[in-house]
């Protein structure tokens, strides 16, 4: 058997909740490395619980019958997938095998799979629930996350703090932190520096992270009384604001880089809680990749990413948001220098080339 494995490509099954190239936790984490893994001789298959239709309706109100049907279909496909596990050298599980209920399928996967890598994002083992998804979270069991943390051969986490917590749960040192990844050939600064009529402050995210955007809105409204700017939101929801000059665009993969390039200052507000300790700082990296200043709450892992005042800006007190943004609006040179430094750091630490080696090491 060993000789047979050595004479062929190693087979890896990626078990994911979301369709390919859509959810940030997949498309800006391990999915960008598939081509590198294939060049290194790995044979990759990806099995996604959600299809495109379920993803489209999953977080929208209504559609209950259709949601139930697609969920049952996904469960059946996961059961059938069990039969194929012996042919894979490694099963890479992102978040869960099945999103609801106890760790039944997860236990069966562990029993059958030769080797399991478990990839956990955000602090989903926190006792503090994400308010935007409180009802959904109540349908999920922390038992399955802890089971996978304890029994996986390798655990990949989104922050060093979460890695430490997982090692405590597993009573081992098998957890490793791997940063998010963006394609540095695709995420690039805008080519033209043509003067704009208005400076643009921007935020990108989904409805599930909108509560963080709400933190900074009062300070943006106060700022708008003193400075002229456009506020751009890139997301998957609609909103309005009677005070701000607001533009809301719907995210899509084909246009996301161009949408980001329209921003001059990127916002990454966060709350100060245990849940945030598992956030990877991905928004900050998106802004850094296109060479603009990321202005971030000094919370969670982002404090390890940004050197304050050099390649980004950290806001240590919530009341300082207006003052901090006003300073950047008034200082074009500072915006330019911080943005250039941010791009350099991104290329040196968070590009595909920089991160692929960590996945190759984890896969063995």
Q: With 60 as the cut, is the pLDDT of residue 340 above it? A: yes
pLDDT for 135:
46
Identify the band that residue 24 occupies on the pLDDT scale cut at 50, 70 and 90.
Answer: confident
pLDDT digits (tens, 9 = 90+) for 189-248: 988 766 778 999 999 998 888 999 999 999 999 999 999 999 999 998 889 999 999 999
Per the structure block, which two tokens stand in for 118?
A: 């478990």
Going by pLDDT thresholds of 50, 70 and 90, the confidence category of residue 128 is low
Please, which pLDDT band fits residue 62 given cuts at 50, 70 and 90?
A: very high
So what's the pLDDT on residue 11? Answer: 97
pLDDT at 126: 66
Between CA 358 and CA 116 the distance in angstroms is: 16
Q: Which CATH class is domain 2-178?
A: alpha beta
Q: Is the pLDDT of residue 130 over 60?
A: no
Burial (CB count <10 Å: 0-12, 13-18, 19+), residue 291: buried
In terms of Cα–Cα distance, which of 203, 214, 196 is closest to 332? 196
Distance CA 357, CA 338 (A): 28
CA distances from 282 to 29, 150, 322 (A): 9, 26, 23
Question: How do strand 154-157 and strand 175-177 relate by DSSP bridges?
Answer: parallel
Whole-angstrom distance, CA of residue 314 vs CA of residue 187: 22
Summary mean pLDDT of the chain: 90
Could you read off the pLDDT of 138-178 as tens digits, one per residue? 456 788 999 999 999 999 999 999 999 999 999 999 999 99
Count how many Cα atoms sit within 13 Å of the Cα of residue 291 in the half-sphere of its side chain.
15
* Alpha-carbon span 302 to 313, nearest angstrom: 10
Mean pLDDT of 68-92: 97
Percent of the chain with pLDDT over 70: 92
Token pair of 274, please?
């245990």
Closest-CA residue to 35 (of 174, 183, 232, 172): 183
pLDDT tens digits along 83-126: 999 999 999 999 999 999 999 999 999 999 999 999 998 767 76
* pLDDT(2) > 50: no
Cα–Cα distance for residue pair 264/143, rounded to 1 Å = 43
Q: How high is the pLDDT of residue 138?
A: 47
Phi, psi of 343 (to 5 degrees): -60, -40
- For residue 231, the cross-strand partners are 201, 246
Other CB atoms within a 10 A radius of the CB of residue 191 amount to 7
Where do you find CATH 3.40.50.2000 in the chain?
2-178, 199-349
Report the pLDDT value the prediction gives residue 3, as an integer from 0 to 100.
37
Nearest-10 crossing angle of helices 332-349, 282-289: 110
Instruction: Given CATH 3.40.50.2000, say whether it is the number of domain 199-349.
Output: yes
């Amino acid at each position: 058997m060993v000789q047979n494995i050595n004479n062929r490509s190693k087979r890896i099954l990626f078990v994911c909740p979301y369709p390919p190239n859509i959810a940030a936790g997949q498309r800006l984490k391990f999915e960008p490395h598939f081509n590198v893994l294939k060049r290194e001789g790995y044979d990759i298959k990806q099995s996604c619980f959600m299809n495109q239709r379920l993803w489209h309706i999953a977080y929208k109100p209504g559609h209950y019958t259709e949601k139930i049907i697609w969920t049952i279909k996904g469960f059946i496909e996961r059961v059938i997938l069990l039969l194929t596990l012996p042919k894979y050298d490694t099963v890479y599980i992102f978040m869960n095998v099945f999103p609801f209920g106890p760790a039944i399928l997860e236990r069966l996967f562990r029993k059958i799979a030769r080797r399991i890598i478990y990839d956990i994002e955000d602090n989903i083992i926190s006792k503090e629930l994400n308010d935007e998804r409180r009802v959904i979270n109540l349908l999920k069991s922390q038992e399955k996350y802890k089971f996978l943390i304890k029994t996986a051969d390798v655990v990949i986490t989104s922050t060093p703090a979460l890695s430490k917590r997982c090692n405590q749960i597993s009573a081992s040192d098998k957890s490793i932190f791997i940063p998010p990844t963006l394609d540095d050939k695709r995420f690039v600064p805008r080519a033209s520096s043509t003067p704009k009529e208005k400076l643009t402050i921007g935020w990108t995210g989904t409805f599930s992270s909108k509560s963080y955007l709400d933190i900074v809105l009062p300070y943006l409204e106060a700022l708008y009384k003193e400075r002229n700017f456009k506020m751009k939101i890139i997301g998957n929801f609609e909103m309005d604001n009677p005070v701000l000059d607001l533009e809301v665009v719907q995210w899509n993969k084909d246009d996301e880089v161009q949408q980001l390039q329209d921003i001059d200052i990127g916002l990454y507000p966060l709350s100060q809680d245990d849940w945030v300790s598992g956030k990877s700082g991905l928004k900050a990296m998106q802004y850094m990749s296109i060479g603009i200043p990321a202005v971030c709450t000094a919370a969670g892992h982002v404090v390890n990413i940004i050197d304050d005042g050099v390649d980004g800006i950290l806001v240590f007190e919530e009341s300082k948001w207006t003052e901090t943004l006003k300073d950047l609006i008034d200082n074009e040179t500072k915006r330019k220098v911080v943005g250039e430094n941010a791009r350099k750091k991104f290329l040196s630490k968070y590009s595909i080339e920089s991160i692929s080696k960590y996945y190759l090491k984890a896969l063995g």
